[in-house]
Structure 1
Amino acid sequence: MRGGSVAVVGGSIAGCAFAAAAARAGAERVVVLERTRGQLADRGLGLCVHDDRAAELVAAGALPAGIPAHRLTRRRWVVRDPAAAGGRVIWEQPFPFHSYHWGLLWRGLRAAVPGTVDHRPGVAVAGVGDGPDGAEVRCADGSAERFDLVVGADGYRSVVRAALCPQARAHYAGYVCWRGNLDAALLDGVRPGEDPHPDAVTTVCFPGGSCVVYRIPGPDGPRVNWVLYAAPPAAGGLRLDDPTSFPPGALPPGLRAHLGVLLEREFPPYWGHVLALTDPADTFVQPIYDLEPPRVAAGRLLLAGDAAAVVRPHNTSGAAKALQDAAAFAAAWRRADSWERLVADYQDVRGAAGRDLVALARRLGRAQVERTPGWARMSREEVAAWWQGQLAGAAGIGGRALAP
């Protein structure tokens, strides 16, 4: 199928990937509508992509080559122990992933979008209407435009999802994650002359929560990225009616103080000190949500990335899922002889994928935050069995393989 017009609402990772896929598939006109002016806000976040998923995505053309990445090989699970400043290792497992800096990944994807794509920054989409012959995009400035297909790559609060699945609502999981990153050179001041496990993800385990710490590339050199999951204090000042976050430098005092309590009380001294080095400007809090809409495509509307499913970050699959969505979209386009066939094909393939990721992330969240075991008393064999119980037959984390 060739020709036609496609609007992509949102210019983040999923938006760039879908715009490139539509343009290369043969769409006559591709327009990206992004509410932010200029470059998207970059909090320096880290993310990981499984090596197998990355290889598939490169082969499918969804992940450009040459984007900086840091190789990870193993995951160490540690608990606080008076005899070890860095904690006691209770289990270690293979971790075949590469880590990325969100901003560098986005820039690589943005640079790979063909020049024929019409990027429109500073355009806020207020609503979308679906019809048998196309979809209408209504902007906040009162303008409206029709397209043959509208892709919602507009994240947690997707306007396109609201049109496609008006009853779908995000559900608060009962806990939050504090996120931050810091210059890896600061580690030399904590443990001079030693690079502690640069190829490893360290997971700090404690009653009622856990924290993952790993290296990522950065614009000015390596950085340390961390994500700490725990319930917030009762008076933390959170608004939990819909997905939201407190941006860097804007943490309420209660949340900032509670982070300090967790680091002092629950962490091995070394890791507590490392996280405490994070500048407040590089620290923020994100409440954790689930959202599993009944469909991801219908009529002339299609959802991508976080707009299609809000998955807890434990899966380590967010970026891979967004790029897989784009690869599946491109494959569906090649097979389609009509818009209806393209949309139905995408729904068949990606609807199930999103449901599986949401279910796995809920199991991981329950086991690692909501109902944590007595990690310090467990043998390595018991920890390995506990991990397999979370997977419940899934091959692993990082997302499942692309459909052939």
Structure 2
Amino acid sequence: MRGGTVAVVGGSIAGCALATAAARAGAGDVVVLERTRGRLADRGVGLCINDERAGELGASGALPGGIAAHRLERRRWVVRDPAQAGGRVIWEQPFPFHSYHWGLLWRGLREAVPDRVVYRQGETVTGVTRAGDGVGAAGAEVRLAGGGAESYDLVVGADGYRSVVREAVCPESRPHYAGYVCWRGNFDAARLAEIGGAADSAPDAVTTVCFPGGTCVIYRIPGPDGPRVNWVLYAPPPRDGQLRFDDPTSFPPGALTPGLAGQLDALLDREFPPYWGRALALTDPADTFVQPIYDLETARTTAGRLLLVGDAASVVRPHNTSGAAKALQDATAVAGIWRRCDSFEELLRAYQDARGAAGRELVALARRLGSAQVERTPAWAAMHPHDMHTWWQGQLGGAPGIGGQAMTPPRTS
């Protein structure tokens, strides 16, 4: 299929990937509408992409080469032990991933967007109207905060968990609170020298600190000014009522209150091996934040001339380490179908067939992971490698692993 006008609502990872995919596949005019006026590269911290998924996405062109990444090979699960400052290792498993800095990954994807794509920042989309609701027989319309409206042949929602496009596709879908929170932070890896680096002598390893009612995942990422240590800590919600749980609201970096910071310090002191407690304490308050964990699944990813990708289509708890890969896979699917189909209707049907179930499967897996690693943690100190392996396989529930699954070739009629 050649030609047609496409509006991509949202210009972060999913939006850049989708705009590039559509333009390269043959779309006529592609416009990205991004509400943020500043540098998106300043948002986010670390993420990982499975090596097999990265290979597939690199071959498809969805993941450009040359983006800084840090190689990870294994994951160590540790518990607090009075005899070992870095904790006692209860299990080690392969972890074939590369880690990324969100900003550097976004920058690479943004630079790969073809010049003919119009990338408009400071454009807030307040609503979307699909065909049959006053737009005519085909196409869709986006309404802008400034009061204007624009019509396109296809509107793609790449606008994350608060997606206004999803409101038009699946208005019944709402975020589901998981019952726990995620503390996040990152710091300059060179600062580990301040506390001694014996416990962190393996930069290719992910360390998961295990404690009653939670886990904390710690790993290296590349940074704009050198390697950094990224950490993600899952735990019961703070008890002082400062966080709201009616929607996925967070205390962003730099906005952590003294009360919340004190609760984090107490958790590290009480539950963590001393080395890792001191390591996380190296994080500057400006680089620390906390957010409730939510997920969301949709019954469909298309409606009329509307299509959802990335977190707009499904919000998966971070345990599965699949968010970026899934967004790039969605864009890859659109490009592959576009080249084979003859109409937008065929494109939308084939995309729903190819990607409709993918998000729901990832949500289900991440819920099992969250249940086992936060909500119903085992007696960690009593676990042995065989016990851990059996426990892990139970979480997977037949899935080959975390990080997302290989794509199946899309079908077109």
TM-score, length-scaled by structure 2: 0.96
Aligned counterpart for 1:301 among listed residues 287, 296, 306 = 306
Q: 1:191 to 1:219 in 2, by over 3 A?
A: same
Unaligned runs of 5+ in 1: none
**Which SS does the other structure have where 1:373 is aligned?**
coil
The residue number in structure 2 matching 1:289 is 294
The residue number in structure 1 matching 2:19 is 19
- CA distance in 2 between counterparts of 1:281 and 1:127 reads 33
**Which SS does the other structure have where 2:42 is aligned?**
coil
Unaligned runs of 5+ in 2: 132-136
Alpha-carbon offset, residue 215 of structure 1: 0.2
Check if 1:365 corresponds to 2:392: no
- CA distance in 2 between counterparts of 1:72 and 1:286 reads 26
The residue number in structure 2 matching 1:273 is 278
Letter in 2 for 1:294: A
Alpha-carbon offset, residue 244 of structure 1: 1.9
Alpha-carbon offset, residue 367 of structure 1: 0.2
The residue number in structure 1 matching 2:134 is none
Alpha-carbon offset, residue 193 of structure 1: 8.0
2:337 and 2:347 in contact (8 A); partners too: yes
The residue number in structure 2 matching 1:72 is 72
The residue number in structure 1 matching 2:129 is 129
Percent identical across equivalent pairs?
75
The Cα offsets for residues 151-201 of structure 1, whole Å up to 9 and x where unpaired, read as 000001000001111111001100010000000000111115885210000
Q: Equivalent residues in 2 for 1:205-216 (5 A)?
A: 205-216=210-221
The Cα offsets for residues 340-365 of structure 1, whole Å up to 9 and x where unpaired, read as 11011111111111011000000000
The Cα offsets for residues 263-296 of structure 1, whole Å up to 9 and x where unpaired, read as 0000000000000010000001121001001111
Aligned counterpart for 2:257 among listed residues 246, 252, 256 = 252
- CA distance in 2 between counterparts of 1:252 and 1:16 reads 34
Check if 1:37 corresponds to 2:37: yes
The residue number in structure 1 matching 2:158 is 153
Letter in 1 for 2:272: F
- CA distance in 1 between counterparts of 2:43 and 2:15 reads 18
**Which SS does the other structure have where 1:31 is aligned?**
strand
The residue number in structure 1 matching 2:401 is 396
Letter in 2 for 1:70: H
The residue number in structure 2 matching 1:4 is 4
1:153 and 1:306 in contact (8 A); partners too: yes
1:64 and 1:109 in contact (8 A); partners too: yes
2:140 and 2:155 in contact (8 A); partners too: yes
Q: Equivalent residues in 2 for 1:32-111 (5 A)?
A: 32-40=32-40, 42-111=42-111
Check if 1:199 corresponds to 2:188: no
Letter in 2 for 1:58: G
The Cα offsets for residues 65-89 of structure 1, whole Å up to 9 and x where unpaired, read as 0000000000000000000000000
- CA distance in 2 between counterparts of 1:317 and 1:334 reads 26
- CA distance in 1 between counterparts of 2:192 and 2:61 reads 37
- CA distance in 1 between counterparts of 2:44 and 2:367 reads 26
1:43 and 1:248 in contact (8 A); partners too: no
1:236 and 1:254 in contact (8 A); partners too: no
The residue number in structure 1 matching 2:344 is 339
1:44 and 1:181 in contact (8 A); partners too: no
The Cα offsets for residues 198-249 of structure 1, whole Å up to 9 and x where unpaired, read as 0000000000000000000000000000000001122241111112211111
2:41 and 2:104 in contact (8 A); partners too: no
**Which SS does the other structure have where 1:156 is aligned?**
helix
The residue number in structure 1 matching 2:354 is 349
Please give the root-mean-square deviation of Cα atoms over the aligned residues, in Å: 1.1
1:44 and 1:282 in contact (8 A); partners too: no
- CA distance in 2 between counterparts of 1:183 and 1:268 reads 20
1:210 and 1:230 in contact (8 A); partners too: yes
- CA distance in 1 between counterparts of 2:282 and 2:109 reads 31
- CA distance in 2 between counterparts of 1:373 and 1:200 reads 23
2:41 and 2:102 in contact (8 A); partners too: no
